[in-house]
Amino acid sequence: MIHSVFRTLFILFCGAAALSGCCLVDEDLRDCNTEHKFRYELHLITNFDTELQEVLGKDEDRPVREALRNDLKGVFTDFGQDLDLSFFATGLDSTRLFREQVTMNANRSEISLFLPERPYLHTAVANVAENGIVSLSNEGRRHLSSLRQKQETADPHRTGLFTGRMPLDGVSLDREMGLYMANCAAALVVNTSEEGFRSMTATASGFADSFSICDSIFRYSEPVLISTKQLSPEEGDQRCFVTVNFPSRDYPATRSVTETTEPFRSENAPEALWHFRTYVTLADNSVTETTLGVTKPLRAGQLMILKAKVLPDGSVQPHDPTVGMSVVLDWGEGIGGDIEL
């Protein structure tokens, strides 16, 4: 009798263990943690060196060329500083199920994660931790997760931002993901040798305010104004005003943002897609505002350099005839001092 009772209890215990043990054969393996290996690599597709050489390749451009190269070399690089990894539920549920933050300090990184067996949408973002201007927003939801500029008026981005995404079927254990640059840069190089010139500031506008990570779409929900950074080479009369930001609207509008075949070759749009706005203070304290309208799109991974010169009235005339020019004379007449934006 006692022997029979112990035998019955033993059978029940084994049955319970079989039902609860996820490593046994079971149709639902969602509670099983399995090791997955991920390899991440930053892919820098850019015209950075080409643009510097083609636009600023003359001997007289060397000081400003080197100043611009030194300023942007930390942005146009495939060196990753940090990785922010998210694993989202699929289907109607868009909740983030797991997050991992990794120090990268390399072009590529390999990590192992133990995850329950189930489908995911996996996203990765590099170099956001030290950017300062852009941060992850609504990162707990797949359809809302984005890189967002914190303010409508901001300084240039401080790092090159890279993102990647891939669906995971819950079966493959070895995956590779490429991350691609999401921001870009523009520079206005101005000859300021005009006798009456005293000082100059500039802003840039017409760019996206956020980037949706899960569908790779730039959003233009809010107007964005970027205060440019001024570079003053050690010699010469050229000054450079540079900004790092998200891309402008594209032309034609249906072009894919992830296209990589000659990604920076484009035609001119019928109207300006983005703008530089300059404020030149002359010796008599008058201020001239010039708006330069650029009809070529500024795309992710791209550097675009515009050259111009200051005229006697303080207006800034672009070398490129396709760049529109609108001038307001005596914009700040009588205010005195330099314009700070």
Predicted TM-score (pTM) of the model is 0.86
Calpha distance 89→142 (Å, rounded)? 8
Number of Cβ within 10 Å of residue 151's Cβ equals: 11
Per-residue model confidence (pLDDT) at position 32: 67
Calpha distance 29→39 (Å, rounded)? 24
Per-residue model confidence (pLDDT) at position 255: 53
Per-residue model confidence (pLDDT) at position 264: 80
94, pLDDT greater than 70: yes
Q: Residue-wise over 303-315: b if at least 16 C-beta within 10 A, else e?
A: bbbbbbbbbeebb
15, pLDDT greater than 60: no
Nearest to 149 by CA among 243, 36, 52: 243
Share the mean pLDDT of the chain: 87
Per-residue model confidence (pLDDT) at position 332: 64
Nearest to 279 by CA among 194, 337, 203: 203
**Which amino acid, one-letter code, is at 66?**
E
Phi-psi region of 85 (alpha: psi -120 to 50; beta: other; left: phi over 0): beta
Per-residue model confidence (pLDDT) at position 27: 40
161, pLDDT greater than 50: yes
**Which burial class, exposed, middle or buried, applies to 9 when counting CB atoms under 10 A from its CB (0-12, 13-18, 19+)?**
exposed
**Which amino acid, one-letter code, is at 123?**
T
143, pLDDT greater than 80: yes
The token pair that represents 11 in the structure block: 């059978």
Calpha distance 229→150 (Å, rounded)? 18
Per-residue model confidence (pLDDT) at position 151: 80
289, pLDDT greater than 60: yes
Confidence of residue 92 (pLDDT cuts 50, 70, 90): confident
* Average pLDDT of the residues in 193-216: 96
Calpha distance 293→326 (Å, rounded)? 8
Confidence of residue 14 (pLDDT cuts 50, 70, 90): very low
Q: What angle is formed at CA 303 by the lines to CA 297 and CA 305, rounded to 5 degrees?
A: 85
Per-residue model confidence (pLDDT) at position 272: 97
Using only C-alpha atoms, what is the Rg of the chain?
Answer: 27
130, pLDDT greater than 70: yes
**Chain centroid to CA 276: how far?**
19
Sequence spans of domains, the chain: 36-328
Between the alpha carbon of residue 114 and those of residues 87, 125, 173, 332, the distances in Å are: 12, 20, 10, 62
The answer to which of 98-112, 143-157, 248-262 has the lowest mean pLDDT is 248-262
Contacts 24+ apart (CB under 8 A), 149-152: 149/209, 149/210, 149/224, 149/245, 149/246, 152/209, 152/222, 152/223, 152/224, 152/225
Calpha distance 77→91 (Å, rounded)? 36
Calpha distance 301→161 (Å, rounded)? 9
Percent of the chain with pLDDT over 90: 73
Per-residue model confidence (pLDDT) at position 172: 67
Number of Cβ within 10 Å of residue 116's Cβ equals: 16
Per-residue model confidence (pLDDT) at position 171: 64
> Helix 48-55 crosses helix 62-72 at what angle (to 10 degrees)?
160
Decide: 305 and 55 in contact? Cβ < 8 Å.
yes
Per-residue model confidence (pLDDT) at position 109: 96
Q: Reply yes or no: is the peptide bond before residue 223 cis, omega within 30 of 0.
A: no
Place of tokens 């868009």: 94
pLDDT digit string, tens, across residues 19-47: 334 433 334 445 568 888 999 999 999 99
Per-residue model confidence (pLDDT) at position 97: 96
Confidence of residue 207 (pLDDT cuts 50, 70, 90): very high
* Average pLDDT of the residues in 258-262: 54
pLDDT digit string, tens, across residues 242-259: 999 999 999 876 454 445
136, pLDDT greater than 80: yes
Per-residue model confidence (pLDDT) at position 17: 40
